[in-house]
Amino acid sequence: MFAEFLNIIFKSIKLDKTLYSDNKNFGEAAIYFAGLIMILDGVAGAVAANTVVKTAIGMSGLTAILTWFIWAIFIYVIGVKLFPDKQTKVPFKKVLVAVGFAHSPGLLRFFALTPELMIPIIFFTQFWIFASLIISTKQILNLKSNFKAFGIIFLSFLIIAFLSISFVMSRMNALPINSI
């Protein structure tokens, strides 16, 4: 079982599209593997960030799970409900698992051991995750176009970024610096 888990991680890191087209990777344990990848991705991000800013590792794991669901919801709604291809018939669970698998490159953030490596590794792995999400979306939604897969991921990213910025900006009024 551990070998199967490592195989999923390595295929995702290699951007191997067969990971998402082979139904054996979406079996009974797939949701647990995807969840574990997301938690480890969050912890890896916290470890990398701890080289510069102290970050709560437990909260990073919980945030990663929340992020996992948000990404999957937006990809599902945009790719399956709003702009599907004729062959696009996929359950939400498969999208959720694919999003989890696609975050495997984030595990490389464990190698950001010094402040000098933190920014380049986080930046590089984030683009790698983005590429992995595009590949996974194209495969699981049976899309004909890489451009359409990119559009679904980019639109999801823009919505998530807008919501995140809106959330942070709404909390800015509660900061003590505003009373100065």
Residue range 89-116, pLDDT digits in tens: 899 999 999 999 999 999 999 888 788 8
Per-residue confidence (pLDDT) for residue 11, from 0 to 100: 96
What would the mean pLDDT of 122-151 be, rounded to a whole number? Answer: 95
CA distance 90 to 31: 15
| Digit-coded pLDDT (tens) for 23-62 | 889 988 999 999 999 999 999 988 887 765 677 777 888 8
Per-residue confidence (pLDDT) for residue 54, from 0 to 100: 73
Top pLDDT among 14 and 170 is at 14
CA distance 61 to 55: 11
- pLDDT-based confidence at residue 153 (cuts at 50, 70, 90): very high
Average pLDDT, the chain: 89
State the alpha helices, DSSP H only, in 14-114: 18-21, 30-49, 57-76, 92-102
Per-residue confidence (pLDDT) for residue 78, from 0 to 100: 96
Per-residue confidence (pLDDT) for residue 173, from 0 to 100: 64
Burial 69-104 (b: 16+ CB within 10 A, else e): ebbbbbbbbbbbeeebeeeeebeeebbbbbbbbbbb
Count other Cβ atoms within 10 Å, centred on residue 149: 22
Per-residue confidence (pLDDT) for residue 165, from 0 to 100: 86
Per-residue confidence (pLDDT) for residue 74, from 0 to 100: 97
